[in-house]
């Protein structure tokens, strides 16, 4: 019933369906219609008096029409509608004192839908008509005044109490929604803080273990190389030193990438710029990194996989491409996130099978397998003399997921 769906305009709130306020509104409507029908059936032989039935028909039509529109009415429209109901009801009361009790549900409706002063004014006018009709019909002076007055006060008190109840219920719902939102936001911030703390811990652990270990191997290899007594031993020690130095650099890149020093863009903007600038500086090449500013913070697993993809691709650029321009782009595409690494280097034939050895040949294959395991993939486009484009993609998984 529209009467119970209280509008936000003019201070009237919507009563939730099947709530106590909803049932009270429905009861007011049924009481109003029921009073009119009961009073009409009590007229007996006077049922054929046509003005009375014309007024009843007009009153019921106006009442049900207003019920369908009251939730969309402003204060003036509601006042006009309820005022029309008061006028037609007062006319019925004047025609027959049997309809005097129709005023009670009408006072309930007016008190619930109208501003207080307007409701008091219409109630006072109706009271004056009721007292006049009762007095003209020989009613007791005291009873003719106190009875209707007590009924009016009870009706207004009930209706205004319902308004107060509905306002408080609406405010409680609003506060509950705010508490839930604040709780969700706190949980999200706690998750992000935990992720950042974990990334920081990993960076420290790698720096304090792997990086320090590789650094020690490099220093020991250099010392052993100087003390070696033949070329073959020095060559082997030199290979050990080179491998340790390469892994030291790689572990430092991981430490730099994991360090959570830049917010936004999923946390990958800073690491991608550092990695790309380092490779470009080694090659003397121009570089550009483009990160979608609308990209949300990604889950740690996704960020690490994309970071490894960038490290692998840029390592190949550094070792093989002899490029003069390097471009890296990280962007969202529908429900996926794509990482593209492009260079203008010497290129190669992707169909040529690369043999795996201690010096390399395993990186792209391992990277593709890792991305496929995470629901993504890897594509390589290249041709001799035409540069290389490597595209890695993964499902977009937000950090809060």
Task: Identify the pLDDT of residue 207.
Answer: 61
pLDDT of residue 142: 63
Q: What are 239-254's pLDDT values in tens digits?
A: 787 777 777 777 666 6
Domain 264-401 indexed as CATH 3.30.565.10: yes
Tens of pLDDT, residue by residue over 211-227, are 667 777 777 777 777 77
User: What is the secondary structure of 195-234 as a DSSP string?
Assistant: HHHHHHHHHHHHIIIIIHHHHHHHHHHHHHHHH-SSHHHH
Q: For the CA atoms of the chain, what is the radius of gyration?
A: 41
N-to-C CA span, the chain: 41
CA distance 380 to 313: 10
Instruction: Check residue 137 and report its DSSP letter.
Output: T
Residue ranges per domain, the chain?
2-182, 264-401
Alpha carbon distances (Å) from 83 to 29, 105, 112: 16, 14, 13
Going by C-alpha positions, the residue among 1, 2, 3, 6 that lies closest to residue 163 is: 6
User: Are 130 and 151 a contacting pair, CB within 8 Å?
Assistant: no
Q: Report the Cα 341 to chain-centroid distance in Å.
A: 33
What is the per-residue pLDDT for 208? Answer: 60
pLDDT at position 357 is 38
What is the pTM assigned to this prediction? Answer: 0.41
Residue 394, strand partner residues: 337
The pLDDT assigned to 307 comes to 85
Can you list the residues of the chain whose pLDDT is less than 50?
A: 1-12, 45, 47, 261-266, 354-361
Q: What is the pLDDT of residue 252?
A: 65
Distance CA 269, CA 29 (A): 63
Give the whole-angstrom CA distance, residue 11 versus residue 180.
Answer: 25
| pLDDT of res. 7 | 42
The Cα 242–Cα 347 span in angstroms is 25
Question: How are beta strands 377-382 and 388-395 bridged, if at all?
Answer: antiparallel
């Amino acid at each position: 019933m529209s009467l119970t769906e209280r509008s936000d305009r003019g201070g009237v709130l919507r009563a939730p369906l099947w709530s106590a306020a909803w049932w009270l509104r429905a009861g007011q409507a049924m009481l109003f219609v029921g009073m009119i029908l009961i009073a009409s059936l009590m007229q007996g032989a006077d049922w054929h008096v046509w003005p009375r039935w014309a007024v009843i028909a007009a009153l019921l039509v106006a009442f049900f029409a207003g019920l369908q529109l009251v939730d969309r009415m402003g204060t003036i429209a509601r006042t006009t509608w309820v005022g029309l109901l008061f006028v037609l009801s007062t006319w019925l009361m004047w025609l027959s004192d049997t309809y005097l009790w129709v005023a009670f549900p009408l006072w309930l409706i007016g008190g619930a839908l109208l501003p207080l002063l307007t409701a008091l004014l219409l109630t006072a006018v109706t009271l004056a008509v009721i007292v006049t009709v009762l007095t003209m019909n020989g009613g007791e002076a005291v009873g003719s005044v106190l009875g209707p007055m007590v009924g009016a006060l009870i009706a207004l008190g009930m209706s205004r109490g319902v308004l107060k109840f509905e306002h408080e219920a609406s405010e409680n719902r609003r506060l509950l929604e705010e508490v839930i939102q604040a709780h969700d936001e706190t949980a999200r911030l706690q998750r992000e803080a935990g992720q950042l703390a974990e990334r920081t811990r990993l960076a420290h652990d790698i720096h304090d273990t792997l990086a320090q270990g590789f650094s020690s191997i490099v220093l020991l290899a250099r010392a052993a190389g100087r003390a070696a007594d033949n070329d073959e031993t020095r060559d082997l020690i030199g290979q050990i030193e080179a491998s340790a130095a390469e892994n030291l650099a790689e572990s430092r890149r991981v430490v730099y990438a994991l360090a959570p020093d830049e917010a936004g863009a999923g946390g990958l903007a800073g690491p991608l710029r550092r990695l790309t600038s380092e490779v470009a500086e080694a090659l003397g090449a121009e570089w550009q990194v483009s990160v979608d500013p609308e990209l949300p913070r990604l889950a740690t697993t996704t960020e690490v996989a994309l970071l490894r993809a960038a490290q692998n691709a840029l390592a190949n650029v550094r070792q093989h491409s002899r490029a003069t321009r390097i471009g890296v782009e990280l962007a969202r595409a529908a429900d996926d996130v794509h990482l593209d690494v492009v260079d203008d280097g010497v290129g190669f034939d992707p169909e040529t099978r690369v043999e795996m050895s201690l010096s390399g040949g395993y990186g792209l294959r391992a990277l593709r397998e890792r991305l496929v395991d995470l629901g993504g993939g890897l594509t390589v486009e290249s041709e001799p003399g035409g540069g290389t484009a490597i595209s890695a993609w993964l499902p977009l998984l937000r950090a809060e997921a």
